[in-house]
A and B are shown apart, each in its own frame.
Chain A
Amino acid sequence: MLKLEKVDPFYGPIEALKGINIEISHGEIVSLIGSNGAGKSTCLMTVSGILKPSSGRIVLDNVDITGMPPHRIVKMGISQVPEGRRIFPRLTVLENLEMGAFLGRGNFSLLIERVYKLFPVLKERYRQYGGTLSGGEQQMLAIGRAMMSNPKILLLDEPSLGLSPIMVSKIFKTIHEINREGVTVLLVEQNARAALKLSNRGYVIENGTITIQGESEEMLNNEKVRHAYLGE
C-alpha cells in the first residue's frame, strides 16, 4: 500500500536518511523504532511532504506521491499525528477537529461521531480551548483530529511521549481499535516493547538507515533488538 523506495530526504546540512526502504501493506500496523535522532520523524515528515526527499520514491497505492505538497498528500489519504501532538491551543476542541476535516474527505457527522466514540472526553470538552486540555487529552485530540480526514494510512509519531502508563495503554488500545476499523498504521515509537506488541511488523532505524526488519514477534526475540531497545 505505502512504499518508500531508497528514500533519501535532504534535511538541512546533513543527510538524515540514507536510502530508506519501507513497505506497508493494507490493514497492517507497522512500527518504526529507533533512538533519538535516528531519523524516525524525518521519515514521517518526508512521507507527509513537509520535507522533500533528495532521491528515492514514495508510492501510495501505485501512485507516486514523491514531492507532492502536504495538502495533496492528505487528500490522497495519508494523515499524520506529529510528535508533540501540536494541537492548536487557541482553537476549541471542536474547531481542532473541524480543521482535521478541512478537505472534506468523508461525511463530517459520521466522522466526528466515530471520534467521539473513540474519545468520549472530547465530546464533553468540545467548547474548551485545545490548550487547556491535559497531555493525554491533547494526544486524544491529536489522533481524533487526524482521523477526521478519514485517512487510509495513519502516521503516528511518538504517541506515548510524556504520558502516564495508564494513558499510554489507553492510547495504544485506541490505535488497535482504529486499525481494526481498516486504517493502516505506521507507528513511530521509542517505547519499542509496546510498539512491537501492537504491530504486525517492525523496522529498526539507526543513523538514518534500516538495520533490522521483520515480524514483530521475531523482533521481540531478536538478541540485538532486546539488548538495544528493550533494555534486557
Chain B
Amino acid sequence: MFLQQLINGLTLGSVYALIALGYTMVYGILELINFAHGEIYMLGAYLGIILLGFFTAIGLTSQSLSLSIILTLILTIIFCSSYGFTIEKIAYKPLRRSPRLSPLISAIGVSIFLQNYVMLTQGATDKVFSSIFGNAGFDFLSTRITYLQLAIILVSAVIMLLLHAFILKTKTGKAMRAVAQDKTMASLLGINIDTVISATFIIGSGLAAIAGVMVAMYYGLVNYYIGYTAGIKAFTAAVLGGIGSVPGAMLGGVILGLAESLGASYILREYIEYKDAFAFIILITILLAKPEGLLGKTSEEKI
C-alpha cells in the first residue's frame, strides 16, 4: 500500500515538477506568473491524445510503439513551444515596460482564451483514448508498478538533470541566469534579452508538452480545463520549492505529488474528494512558515 502510493506520488510529482519548471523559469527571468502555462500543458495533452489516436488508426503503434511515442513527443514539443514563443511575443513582450499587473492580467486572458479555443474546436466533453499500454508492468514487493509509471519517472528525472546541466554549463544557460539577475547589465554585455526570454518560453513550453503527452498516456483522458488544476498545482510546487529556483521546482513537484497521494490514502481516506485541497493546504502552510520557499532566496539581494 505504502509503496504503491509512493510510486503513484512520484509519477504525479514528476509531472508537476516538469510543469513547475516552466513557471519558475519564466518567473525567474520576467517576474511574471505565466498563468497561460497550464494551458500549454493542456494543449500538449490534447495533441498527445490526437496524435497517438492517429498513429493507432494508421497502425503505427502496433508496428513500433516506441517510434510512435517519440514522434508524438517531438511533434507536441514543437507545437507547444511555438505556442509559448508566440504567446510571449503577442501578449507579454508589448507589456514589458508596463506595471507588473498588466502582463499578469494578459496572462490570465491568454489562459481563458486558450481554454475556450480548445473547448470550441475540440468540444466540451472529455476526450478519451483507450490506452495502448494497459496495465503492463511488473510486481515488486506485492506492488504493481506499470512500465508507463516507470517511464514517466525516469524520463522526467533525465530531462530535469539535462535541464539542470544546461542552465549550469551552457552559454545560453549562463546567459539565462545573468538575465534573471540583471537584465540591463546583461544587455550591456551584448546578450540579446529578447532571445533569452524567447528561449525560456520555448524550453518551458517544451517541458509542459512532455508532461502533457505523458499524462495523456497515463490517464488516457483529457478535457479543456485540465490545464487549470494542473497549472495551479504546478504553480504551488514552484512556490513550495521557491519560485525562481529550478532545483526548487523539481523538489517542490515531487514533494507535492507525494504529499497528495500519501495524504489522500493516509490522512484524508474517506474524504478523498478533498485531495486537491491538500495541495493548497500545503501551499498556505509553506507561505506562512517560509514565504521564500524551500530552496528560494529572499529578494533582498536585488541591489
Known A-B contacts A89-B181, A90-B181; A80 and B174 likewise in contact (beta carbons under 8 Å)? no
From B177, B193, B303, contact of A84 by CB (8 A): B303
From B178, B301, B303, contact of A99 by CB (8 A): B178
Could you tell me the distance between the alpha carbons of A96 and B303 in the complex, rounded to whole angstroms? Answer: 16
Known A-B contacts A84-B303, A102-B171, A102-B175; A74 and B188 likewise in contact (beta carbons under 8 Å)? yes
Distance in Å: Cβ of B97 to nearest Cβ of chain A: 12
A95 pairs with B192, CB closer than 8 A: no
What does DSSP make chain B's interface, helix, strand, loop or mixed? helix
B185 pairs with A48, CB closer than 8 A: no
Known A-B contacts A90-B181, A131-B301; A74 and B174 likewise in contact (beta carbons under 8 Å)? no
B190 pairs with A71, CB closer than 8 A: yes
B186 contacts the other chain (CB 8 A): yes
Task: Tell me the number of A-to-B contacts counted with CB atoms below 8 Å.
Answer: 69
A69 pairs with B189, CB closer than 8 A: no
A53 contacts the other chain (CB 8 A): no
Could you tell me the distance between the alpha carbons of A70 and B178 in the complex, rounded to whole angstroms? Answer: 15
Could you tell me the distance between the alpha carbons of A70 and B185 in the complex, rounded to whole angstroms? Answer: 10
Could you tell me the distance between the alpha carbons of A69 and B185 in the complex, rounded to whole angstroms? Answer: 13
A86 pairs with B171, CB closer than 8 A: no
B185 pairs with A88, CB closer than 8 A: yes
A91 contacts the other chain (CB 8 A): yes
- Chain B residues with CB under 8 Å of A84's CB are 303
A100 contacts the other chain (CB 8 A): yes
A90 pairs with B177, CB closer than 8 A: yes
Could you tell me the distance between the alpha carbons of A99 and B170 in the complex, rounded to whole angstroms? Answer: 11
A198 contacts the other chain (CB 8 A): no
B175 pairs with A50, CB closer than 8 A: no
Q: What residue in chain B is nearest A89 (Cβ atoms)? A: B301
A82 contacts the other chain (CB 8 A): yes
Interface size of A by Cβ–Cβ distance < 8 Å?
Answer: 28
From A89, A99, A131, contact of B189 by CB (8 A): A99
Interfacial residues of chain B within 186-203, with CB under 8 A of chain A in the complex: 186-193
Distance in Å: Cβ of A74 to nearest Cβ of chain B: 3
Write out, one digit per residue, whether chain A residues 115-150 have a CB within 8 A of any chain B CB (1) or not (0): 000000000000000010000000000000110010
- Chain A residues with CB under 8 Å of B177's CB are 88, 90-91, 95
Distance in Å: Cβ of B132 to nearest Cβ of chain A: 45
B192 pairs with A69, CB closer than 8 A: yes
B143 contacts the other chain (CB 8 A): no
- Chain B residues with CB under 8 Å of A86's CB are 182, 184-185, 303
B174 pairs with A95, CB closer than 8 A: yes
A75 contacts the other chain (CB 8 A): yes
Q: What residue in chain A is nearest B297 (Cβ atoms)? A: A90
A98 contacts the other chain (CB 8 A): yes
A228 contacts the other chain (CB 8 A): no
From A79, A95, A99, A149, contact of B186 by CB (8 A): A99
B181 pairs with A75, CB closer than 8 A: no
B182 pairs with A149, CB closer than 8 A: no
From B178, B181, B189, B301, contact of A74 by CB (8 A): B189
B174 pairs with A98, CB closer than 8 A: yes
- Chain B residues with CB under 8 Å of A82's CB are 184-185, 188
Write out, one digit per residue, whether chain B residues 147-182 have a CB within 8 A of any chain A CB (1) or not (0): 000000000000000000000000100110110011
Interfacial residues of chain A within 45-83, with CB under 8 A of chain B in the complex: 48-50, 69-71, 74-75, 79-80, 82
A212 contacts the other chain (CB 8 A): no
Distance in Å: Cβ of A152 to nearest Cβ of chain B: 14
Known A-B contacts A88-B178, A91-B178; A50 and B187 likewise in contact (beta carbons under 8 Å)? yes
- Chain B residues with CB under 8 Å of A87's CB are 185
**A-side interface residues toward B, CB under 8 Å?**
48-50, 69-71, 74-75, 79-80, 82, 84, 86-91, 95, 98-100, 102-103, 131, 145-146, 149
